[in-house]
A and B are shown apart, each in its own frame.
Chain A
């Protein structure tokens, strides 16, 4: 089967750094994506890792370790507007479609 695990909730303060972890188990693996979803809104694409290592896009970075079946999203210089749910998703070779995790709700406090 295929499964993804990520923490259900994370809290942090403005200006801090937070890391949201994702572990996955899939039959075949192409890459790991991250999506952001504000309450009442639509998911929006943040990043994608196909190879091991760190990808940086502004304040957000995403990391992948294929050997550990693990990745994380790193958010720096947190702002109140970063309060949202973050979903990891794997592109599985066996299923050939995105499989989403249950999401991590990030609450940023002043």
Chain B
């Protein structure tokens, strides 16, 4: 089992460019999450999907969109990147919604210049 995988691992964008971060899990989990992590701060929830076919906003959703493509895959899209979106992005999954135990992917390090 690969667990939670994310692509790409690193990305540099210019202001205004768009991109999609991909996430997949092979643990048959129902819920998936996107977080961002900035220096000196904890993980902040951007969007989540409690189950296939549903998505909802987290703490910091502005500037992002998501798609739960199927039970395995959950993508995060930046339509018009801004320097404030420079961060490390983590995808996570859990067997059920509102779980205290989440499994994280390796992260995508994004720089917006």
Contact = CB atoms under 8 A, between A and B. Distances in A.
Nearest to A91: B100
Contact of B100 (A33, A44, A101, A103): A33
Nearest to A85: B42
Interface residues of A, number: 21
How many chain B residues sit at the interface, stated as a range, is 20 to 34
Contacts of B4: 42
Interface string B24-66: 0000000001000000111111001000000000100000000
Contact of A98 (B90, B100, B106, B107): B100
A87 B98 contact: no
B103 interface: yes
Interface string B5-41: 0000000000000000000000000000100000011
A4 B43 CA distance: 12
A4 B104 CA distance: 21
Given A30-B100, A98-B100, A42 B42 contact: no
Contacts of B45: 97-98
A96 interface: yes
Interface of A: 4, 8, 30-31, 33, 41-45, 48, 87, 89, 91, 96-98, 100-103
Give the 5 A-B CB pairs with smallest separation, nearest first. Answer: A100-B42, A42-B104, A100-B43, A33-B100, A48-B100
Given A43-B104, A97-B48, 17 more contacts: A4-B42, A30-B100, A42-B4, A42-B106, A43-B43, A43-B90, A43-B92, A44-B104, A45-B100, A45-B101, A48-B100, A87-B42, A91-B100, A96-B98, A97-B45, A100-B42, A100-B43
